[in-house]
A and B are shown apart, each in its own frame.
Chain A
Amino acid sequence: QSVLTQPPSVSAAPGQKVTISCSGSSSNIENNYVSWYQQLPGTAPKLIIYENDKRPSEIPDRFSGSKSGTSATLGITGLQTGDEADYYCGSWDSRLSPGRIFGTGTKVTVL
Chain B
Amino acid sequence: EVQLVESGGGLIQPGGSLRLACEASGFTVSNNYMSWVRQAPGKGLEWVSVIYSGDSVSYVDSVKGRFTISRDSSKNTLYLQMNSLKVEDTAVYFCARSKETSTIFYYFDYWGQGTLVTVSS
Asked whether any CB of chain A lies closer than 8 Å to the CB of B108, the reply is: yes
B47 touches A50 (CB 8 A): no
Looking at the assembled complex, report how far the CB atom of B4 sits from the nearest CB atom of chain A, in whole angstroms.
9
A90 touches B107 (CB 8 A): yes
Looking at the assembled complex, report how far the CB atom of B15 sits from the nearest CB atom of chain A, in whole angstroms.
26
Looking at the assembled complex, report how far the CB atom of B36 sits from the nearest CB atom of chain A, in whole angstroms.
11
The size of the chain A interface, using a CB distance under 8 A, is 25
What's the interface size class on B, roughly?
Answer: 20 to 34
A103 to B106, alpha carbons, bound, how many Å? 15
Contact of A98 with B47 at beta-carbon distance under 8 Å, contacts A44-B112, A44-B113, A45-B94 already known: yes
Looking at the assembled complex, report how far the CB atom of B95 sits from the nearest CB atom of chain A, in whole angstroms.
10
Asked whether any CB of chain A lies closer than 8 Å to the CB of B87, the reply is: no
**Chain B residues with Cβ under 8 A from A103's Cβ?**
44
> Assuming A47-B111, A104-B44, what are 8 further A-B pairs, CB within 8 angstroms?
A44-B113, A45-B94, A47-B107, A50-B106, A51-B106, A51-B107, A98-B59, A102-B46
